[in-house]
Amino acid sequence: MKRIFIIAFSILMLCCLLLGTVIMVQASEPGYEIAEAYTTAAVTLDGNWATGEWEDSWIEYMDASAADERFCYKASDDLYYAPEILIDSADNTTDAGDIWQICIGDEAGGSVPLTGHNKIEIVGHTNLIVYAGNGTGWVEVDASPVTWADNLTVHDVPFDYEHWCLEIIIDKNTLNQEWNAAPPIGLRVAFYDETEDLWVAWPPQSDPDIPQGWGLITGGAASIPESLSFGVVGLLSSIAVAVAFYTTRKRPKTKNLKL
């Protein structure tokens, strides 16, 4: 009976570990990851991509059917590696309902916005609103850690028609202490064109209110915890097999020797 208990306990521990690994993977939308690039060129907040300004960033296209709609991401060498983001929209109309939107924060995900998540919106190209999660939704917070500029522009970097461009810097150390360390960091980038009544987002099917469906910024000093690494899983698997073998093997028979 004792042998059966040991085997069952070992298998149970291994299954719990593997389940934890699956949950960790599902904390963000699979297949939507970018690496954190570190800036080598200063950003001038004017809503325009000047030559040499964003070439050092990670560049990601937001819509497979529209190669012009993209965002750039890099970490500043000032302000505790503050996120610097540029978004190019194909929109060239000016509407009061146009929205730039960035959701960023704790990579652990979740089905609702938590205190480690922030949503940043710029509405009508004029009004900046910053939110923090509270476990059920979003509440408005101080917007001063976010600086931005957008512009209806034709880029210095080739972009052969007038369009809206946003440049934004987020002082994460001031905005939210819960995600101000090195990556991984959850990220959603989106904009809304009121004329077309159309949202374009990365990841495409993501929802600002469901952090576990956001993309992920990788890199930096963060790594998968050892308790969830494949090496430890393999080690525990070996231990489980060894325990099973030891407890179920037959003891060799010995003869009673009379002295």
Q: pTM of the prediction?
A: 0.74
Cross-strand pairs, 165: 88, 151
Is 2.60.40.1190 the CATH number for 30-218? Answer: yes
| Token pair for 222 | 């963060």
**Pairing outcome for strands 33-35 and 215-218:** parallel
pLDDT attached to residue 135: 96
Low-confidence ranges of the chain (pLDDT < 70): 1-27, 64-67, 79, 158, 220-259
Helix (H) or strand (E) holding 5: helix 2-25
pLDDT attached to residue 147: 98
pLDDT attached to residue 65: 60
For residues 85 and 167, give the distance between their C-alpha atoms in angstroms, rounded to a whole number: 6
- In angstroms, the Cα distances linking 90 to 96, 191, 195 are 17, 10, 12
- In angstroms, the Cα distances linking 120 to 102, 142, 145, 150, 166 are 5, 11, 11, 14, 13
pLDDT attached to residue 12: 45
Contacts 24+ apart (CB under 8 A), 179-183: 179/104, 179/105, 179/106, 179/107, 179/116, 179/117, 179/118, 180/80, 181/221, 181/222, 182/36, 182/81, 182/219, 182/220, 182/221, 182/222, 183/36, 183/107, 183/216, 183/217, 183/218, 183/219, 183/220, 183/222
pLDDT attached to residue 7: 43
